[in-house]
Amino acid sequence: MRDGDDDPLGERALGSEQVFDGVLLKVWRDRVKLPGGGESVREYVRHPGAVVVVARLQDGTLLLERQFRYPLGRAFLEFPAGKIDPGEDVLDCAKRELREETGYEASAWRYVGVMHPCIGYSDERIEIFVADELSHVGHAWDEGEFLEVLNWPVQAVEAAIHAGRITDAKTITAFYRALPFIG
Amino acid sequence: MRDGDDDPLGERALGSEQVFDGVLLKVWRDRVKLPGGGESVREYVRHPGAVVVVARLQDGTLLLERQFRYPLGRAFLEFPAGKIDPGEDVLDCAKRELREETGYEASAWRYVGVMHPCIGYSDERIEIFVADELSHVGHAWDEGEFLEVLNWPVQAVEAAIHAGRITDAKTITAFYRALPFIG
């Protein structure tokens, strides 16, 4: 249950039940008391959190992936990212996802901040990192994971955002949060 | 079902079933054939799509809302946004959401592009608009909708993004997609 008692806009949980327990998705439905005194229902995904990595090669290009995203039925250009394992440190997760998905290790890491991709119906947070001083050690894709790794100049990434070729909000958000450190 | 037959990364649907039919959330589980020939399961939210509006007052400030978001148990600063009604034109939706939530009508509208907030487990798309030449006509909040309307200079919005006070990815993405038209 999520309580917002200290905020005049806050909603107070009256009850909470899990309504779907999937392999990936965990969905909950809560009854809530509204600020005006009425009651309503809130349905939402509980998510373990994730990381996204803006990784810069020695030549200044940024690592991108092209990955098929089933809910939308097509591949997207996006920065390396992935879910946090239970108990895993967020920086360890960022290092793991970068290595597994792109085959690179980085010796310089900077934590940039957090974003929330889907505040209407998910508690997911995504922690943003910038990775520098990369060396290639070979990827380790999960079974059933298929992706292409690309590297693009910073200006090409920004141009693709404004041309609508990159539409993934976590990638666009991470790019602009990282830009002061990579520009 | 979402087919990606024409892409070497594509996954092909083998079967599809709705596993949760909530008031807001509709969750589906599909069996898919992977590019490598194996099978897997994909669980995802089907969403009607949404709009977000970057609305600029005569003095150049941007309209923001502070709205409680139950999944995360706190209020967020975000641009006016909302779901598309069945059969509704996206521009009509943008006009409706701006008027209902902030009380403003705009006589100049620009379509900027689309973002995808949650490609891992939702088919949601958010259409981005810039609204200019605003006039105040009074809001019309839905029953159970509670929010505060603010107006901030463009520079204050960008500073809040980089300070981590604005973390909503749709707001950050919409801000930077709109910036060439409002800067």
| pLDDT tens readout for residues B141-175 | 766 668 999 999 999 999 999 999 999 999 999 99
For residue A98, the distance in angstroms to the closest alpha carbon of chain B comes to: 17
Q: Are the Cβ atoms of A70 and B3 closer than 8 angstroms?
A: no
Q: Which residue type, as a one-letter code, is found at position B26?
A: K
Q: Pick from B2, B29, B70: which is nearest to A32 by CB?
A: B70
Rounded-to-integer distance, Cα B169 and Cα A117, Å: 5
ipTM: 0.95
The range of the structural domain enclosing residue B56 comes to 50-182
pLDDT, position A183: 76
Domain membership of residue A1 (yes or no) is no
For residue B86, the distance in angstroms to the closest alpha carbon of chain A comes to: 19
pTM of the model: 0.95
Could you tell me if B105 and B134 lie in one domain?
yes
Could you tell me if A31 and A96 lie in one domain?
no
- Closest C-alpha to A28, from A125, A126, A122, A124: A122
For residue B114, the distance in angstroms to the closest alpha carbon of chain A comes to: 7
pLDDT in tens, B80-101: 999 999 999 999 999 999 999 9
Rounded-to-integer distance, Cα A174 and Cα B46, Å: 25
Q: Are the Cβ atoms of A4 and B75 closer than 8 angstroms?
A: yes
Rounded-to-integer distance, Cα A139 and Cα A75, Å: 20
For A89, residues 6+ apart whose C-beta sits below 8 A from its C-beta are none
* Cβ of residue B97 closer than 8 Å to a chain A Cβ: no
Q: Which residue type, as a one-letter code, is found at position B151?
A: N
Find, in chain B, the residue whose alpha carbon is nearest to that of A2: B73
Rounded-to-integer distance, Cα B5 and Cα A133, Å: 38
Rounded-to-integer distance, Cα A173 and Cα B161, Å: 10
Element (DSSP H or E) covering residue B130: strand B126-136
For residue A49, the distance in angstroms to the closest alpha carbon of chain B comes to: 12
pLDDT at B20 over 90: yes
Domain membership of residue A4 (yes or no) is no
Q: Are B76 and B167 in contact (CB under 8 A)?
A: yes
Place of tokens 């990595």: A53
Could you tell me if B89 and B31 lie in one domain?
no
Could you tell me if A119 and A57 lie in one domain?
yes
Could you tell me if A80 and A158 lie in one domain?
yes
Q: How many domains does chain A have?
A: 2
* Cβ of residue A37 closer than 8 Å to a chain B Cβ: no
Place of tokens 């509709």: B26
Could you tell me if B126 and B166 lie in one domain?
yes
Find, in chain A, the residue whose alpha carbon is nearest to that of B29: A22
Could you tell me if B37 and B69 lie in one domain?
no
Q: Are the Cβ atoms of A177 and B173 closer than 8 angstroms?
A: no
Could you tell me if A80 and A152 lie in one domain?
yes
Could you tell me if B24 and B54 lie in one domain?
no
Domain membership of residue A175 (yes or no) is yes
Domain membership of residue B2 (yes or no) is no
CATH of the domain at A107: 3.90.79.10
Rounded-to-integer distance, Cα B153 and Cα A182, Å: 25
- Token pair, residue A54, equals 């803006």
Q: Are the Cβ atoms of B117 and A42 closer than 8 angstroms?
A: no
**Helix (H, G, I), strand (E, B), or coil: what is residue B18?**
strand
Could you tell me if B67 and B142 lie in one domain?
yes
Q: Are A126 and A51 in contact (CB under 8 A)?
A: yes
Residues of B identified as active-site: 143
pLDDT at B3 over 60: no
For residue A15, the distance in angstroms to the closest alpha carbon of chain B comes to: 13
Domain membership of residue B106 (yes or no) is yes
Q: Which of residues 65-84 of B touch A (CB under 8 A)?
A: 66-76, 78
- Closest C-alpha to A141, from B4, B119, B42, B38: B38
Residue-by-residue pLDDT tens, chain A, 183 positions: 455 557 889 999 999 999 999 999 999 999 999 998 899 999 999 999 999 999 999 999 999 999 999 999 999 999 999 999 999 999 999 999 999 999 999 999 999 999 999 999 999 999 999 999 999 998 777 666 688 999 999 999 999 999 999 999 999 999 999 999 997
Q: Strand A126-136 and strand A50-55: pairing? A: parallel
Residues of A identified as active-site: 143
* Cβ of residue B49 closer than 8 Å to a chain A Cβ: no
Q: Pick from A74, A121, A168: which is nearest to B4 by CB?
A: A74
Q: Are the Cβ atoms of B45 and A121 closer than 8 angstroms?
A: yes
pLDDT, position A144: 61
In a mutagenesis test of the A interface, which of B31, B116, B126, B149 is the best target, namely the one with the most A β-carbons within 10 Å?
A: B116
Q: Which residues of A touch B168 (CB under 8 A)?
A: 115-116, 119
Could you tell me if A23 and A62 lie in one domain?
no
Could you tell me if B123 and B178 lie in one domain?
yes
Contacts of range A159-165, beta carbons closer than 8 Å, 24 or more positions apart: A160/A77, A161/B176, A161/B177, A162/B177, A162/B180, A164/B113, A164/B114, A165/A77
pLDDT, position B143: 63
pLDDT, position A5: 58
| % of chain B exceeding 70 in pLDDT | 94
Domain membership of residue B3 (yes or no) is no
